[in-house]
Structure 1
Amino acid sequence: MAKLVLNVALPAFKYKAMYAGAAKNLVASSLDGRKVQLPLSAFQSFVTHQGIYGLFEVEFDNRNKLLGVTKLR
């Protein structure tokens, strides 16, 4: 299984626009420089009034299917 660590900073107004249908995916760069596109719904449980902020670990299976997202800090 592969894991990536992402530093996500998505303000609430951008999340709201994305959630309203403007976009379905979050594009972010991992700490090691790889760019990934993930479904916004994977981060739904981490949304606050400020938006989505923090360091996240994303886990994939051998076929690069998203298994889960964990907030590190």
Structure 2
Amino acid sequence: MNKFYYFRMNVTYQAFLSHYSGAASTVLVVTEQGLKLQLPASRFRSFLTQLGVKGRFRLTIDQNNRFLNLEQVG
């Protein structure tokens, strides 16, 4: 059974590039349920615009806590 976690991000373009451009960089997010999750910054590169990474996201993981999908939902 898949699990879903929702969280918001608001990181400027410059901050994302300067802090998360390294291959091993991770992003720490706090879900709407208050759970802290650490995700590879590379998972957010497809969402990077001139304004940065902004919006509400849904993370989908499987029963073994393995990444399945990350999508912007708002």
Same topology, TM > 0.5: yes
Report the residue type matching 1:30 in the other structure.
T
| RMSD of aligned alpha carbons | 1.4
In the other structure, the counterpart of 1:46 is 47
Given that 2:24 and 2:40 are in contact with CA atoms closer than 8 Å, whether structure 1 keeps it comes out as no
Evaluate the alpha carbon distance shift between residue 9 and residue 42 of structure 1 in structure 2; reply closer, same or farther with a 3 A threshold.
same
Q: TM-score, normalised by structure 1?
A: 0.90
In the other structure, the counterpart of 2:31 is 30
Once the two structures are TM-superposed, the CA of residue 22 in structure 1 deviates from its matched residue by 8.4
- Which aligned runs of 4 or more in structure 1 are off by greater than 4 angstroms? none
Once the two structures are TM-superposed, the CA of residue 62 in structure 1 deviates from its matched residue by 0.9
Mapped partners of 2:23, 2:13: distance in 1: 14
Does structure 1 residue 59 correspond to structure 2 residue 60?
A: yes
* Structure 1 unpaired stretches of 5+: none
Q: TM-score, normalised by structure 2?
A: 0.89
Alignment size in residue pairs: 72
